[in-house]
Structures are given as structure tokens and as C-alpha cells.
């Protein structure tokens, strides 16, 4: 259980997701990684049925499972204003949610999952996941875990190097958006800068990253559904933090 970073992989035009995954898998095997099974991360969202009257969005409960922690169910409550409460529970939690159908309804159409092959590469565990929502392919999400370290700040450079090495795209130097410095309110009521990349990593952080990515993929649906034609370049940059897509001639270097 080490530091895990999620990296969405931008789909180049004209290639299908399965082809890309196949290609990346072959690269990893050529590097010397061993294929060790499949993985699955899925997310189901429940919205609170009585909509509040003041127009604020109802509370959403996200229930996620991660095959890396098969005995646990993760759950995050989102009350619309950005505050999140997270929970790690036994698998019986799913049965509990079934009983809560009066208060929470499940929006089946937003059930989203990331599924694919799992590779072990020395101290790293690399998962190539294809994200699907209701059988529609949404994108490719790469998860890389460095098992020996529990603080991102100590190993971010190494993870970035490995990612760049086998993905072939550039990865930004800054920490991923999930780990960026945030302002939080302390118990005294003061605002304080909190650097998440110095915290000890927990399995809940993996799940929260997945939720962030899944939310972005869901917003893509909304965005793409809203957008009529063309101009798709500027659009979906929201959901891909930390990915810098340079022109092919320069990788990590300045302009010629």
C-alpha cells in the first residue's frame, strides 16, 4: 500500500481505446513487468430524493469498490458545496445502501468503472484501465503505485520518470491536482495552507482520486452533450490535470 497516482491518458485521434491499451501493455511487458491479473474500480452514485427547496443540489453519496482492497467498500458524501466526508467500511455497507432507497435513489446511468490489466514492475504496480460508463467507452486511466513509499513528496520524481518512460507523453512537474496545496480551515478557524503531498498516503486517497477522475468523465458527458459542433480543443481540458500534450517534435524541451 504505497503512493498511488492516477494519470489520464489522452486518446490520440483515430486510435481506439483497446488498441492503445494493448500497445501500452506490450510496452510494459517488454520493459520486464509481469502481468498479474485484472483490476476493477467502480463507482455508483446515490442522490438524496427529497430535493432541498432552496435550489441547492441534493446530497450525493458515492459508493466505490477497489479490487485492490477486496474486503472494503469506500463511500464519499458530497453535499454539493464542496465538503466531502469519506468512509471506509466492510462490504456489508452495500447491503445497507440497498435499504436506504427511500432517502437515496441510485442513478444507474452514472455508474462508472475502470477495468483492465494489472502489471507488477519491481516495486511498482501499474494498472491500465479503460473507463466505461454504461458500456460507453470514456477514456483511459493509468494508475501507478509505488509500494515502498507512503509520502508523495519523496517519490514523485521517480513516479513521474517511470510514467514518462513507458507512456511516451510528458508529465507535468507539478504535483497532480489532487495533491496540490490547499487552503483549509484549522480547528482555530484560521486559514492555513496544507500541502497534501507531504501527508502519509492512505487507500482512501486512491479512491478519492478515482472519484475526481470519474466526476470529470461524467462532466464530459454533460459538456459533450451540450456542445454542438467543432471547437473541441479548448473544451475538455478540465478533466485532465497535469497532462501536457506537447507537439511531437519537442518533449520537455523549449521551442526550437
Partner 1 sequence: MSNSVNISVETTCENQIREIGYDGTELYQPPPTLSESLAKCAARIDFSKTSLDDLKREEKSAAAAAGDEDNKDATQFQESLWPWDAVRNKLKDALTEICVLSDVISIAKDKRYLVLDPLLEEGDDTKPIVQVYSRKKAISQAAQVLLGGAERLRNAHSEQRSRNVSDFHIELLRLRQNWRLKKVSNAIIGDLSYRTAGSKFGMSGTFEVTKAEEALDDDTVSTSSSSSTASGNNGMQLKASSALRVIVPAELQGVAYIKVITQKDQEDLCTAQVNLMGHGPNITAQVGVWQKTLEFAQNVLFCKELFAQLAREAIQLQAPIPHVVIGNQIRATLLPNIQLIISLCHSTTFDSSLPAPINDHDHVLEHSLHQLLREVHYKNSHHPFPHPASAPLGPTKKRMLAGPMAADRETLLDMTKTQTILEQIIAQAQHIFMRKRTQYVLDTLARDVKDPQIVSHWNAMNSPTMSCVKINIVTHGYDAIGRTSLVIHVKERSLKCICRDGRVMRLSYEPQELRDLILCQINSHQISCLISLARCMAWTVLSNSNHLGIGKVEPLGNASSCLLASPNSDRMIAVQIRCDPQIDVKVYIARSPRQDFFPSPLVPEKLWENLGGNFKEVRFDKIEGKSFLNKMEFLMASLTSNSA
**Interface with partner 1 (CB under 8 A):** 1, 68-74, 88-92, 202-204
Closest CA to 196 of 151, 145, 147: 151
Give the nearest distance from C-beta 119 to partner 1 in angstroms: 15
H helices of 92-243, in order, are 93-99, 152-167, 203-226
**The three three-digit cell numbers of residue 176, written as one number:** 497532480
Closer by beta carbon to partner 1, 22 or else 90: 90
Contact call for residues 124 and 145 (beta carbons, < 8 A): yes
Paired residues of 105 in beta bridges: 47
Strand locations in 112-171, DSSP E? 112-121, 124-133, 136-146, 170-171
Contact call for residues 1 and 72 (beta carbons, < 8 A): no
Give the nearest distance from C-beta 251 to partner 1 in angstroms: 35
Give the nearest distance from C-beta 6 to partner 1 in angstroms: 17
Closer by beta carbon to partner 1, 56 or else 89: 89
Tell me whether strands 60-66 and 112-121 are parallel, antiparallel or unpaired: unpaired
Closer by beta carbon to partner 1, 2 or else 139: 2
Give the nearest distance from C-beta 74 to partner 1 in angstroms: 8
Closer by beta carbon to partner 1, 205 or else 241: 205
Closer by beta carbon to partner 1, 70 or else 254: 70
Amino acid at each position: 500500500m504505497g503512493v498511488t497516482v492516477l494519470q489520464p491518458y489522452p486518446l490520440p485521434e483515430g486510435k481506439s481505446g483497446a488498441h492503445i491499451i494493448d500497445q501500452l501493455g506490450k510496452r510494459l511487458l517488454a520493459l520486464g513487468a509481469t502481468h498479474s491479473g485484472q483490476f476493477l474500480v467502480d463507482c455508483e452514485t446515490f442522490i438524496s430524493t427529497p430535493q432541498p427547496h432552496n435550489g441547492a443540489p441534493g446530497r450525493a453519496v458515492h459508493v466505490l469498490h477497489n479490487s485492490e482492497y477486496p474486503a472494503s467498500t469506500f463511500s464519499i458524501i458530497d453535499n454539493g458545496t464542496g465538503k466531502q466526508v469519506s468512509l471506509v467500511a466492510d462490504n456489508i455497507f452495500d447491503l445497507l445502501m440497498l435499504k436506504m432507497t427511500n432517502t437515496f435513489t441510485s442513478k444507474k446511468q452514472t455508474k462508472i468503472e475502470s477495468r483492465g490489466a494489472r502489471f507488477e514492475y519491481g516495486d511498482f504496480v501499474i494498472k491500465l484501465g479503460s473507463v466505461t460508463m454504461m458500456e460507453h467507452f470514456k477514456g483511459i486511466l493509468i494508475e501507478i503505485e509505488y509500494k515502498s513509499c507512503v509520502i508523495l513528496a519523496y517519490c514523485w520524481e521517480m513516479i513521474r520518470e517511470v510514467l514518462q518512460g513507458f507512456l511516451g507523453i510528458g508529465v507535468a512537474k507539478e504535483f497532480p491536482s489532487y495533491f496540490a496545496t490547499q487552503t483549509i480551515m484549522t480547528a482555530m478557524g484560521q486559514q492555513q495552507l496544507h500541502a497534501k503531498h507531504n501527508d502519509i498516503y492512505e487507500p482512501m486517497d486512491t479512491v478519492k482520486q478515482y472519484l475526481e477522475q470519474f466526476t470529470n468523465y461524467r462532466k464530459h458527458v454533460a459538456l459533450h452533450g451540450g456542445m454542438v459542433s467543432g471547437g473541441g480543443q479548448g473544451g475538455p481540458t478540465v478533466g485532465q490535470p497535469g497532462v501536457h500534450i506537447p507537439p511531437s517534435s519537442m518533449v520537455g524541451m523549449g521551442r526550437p
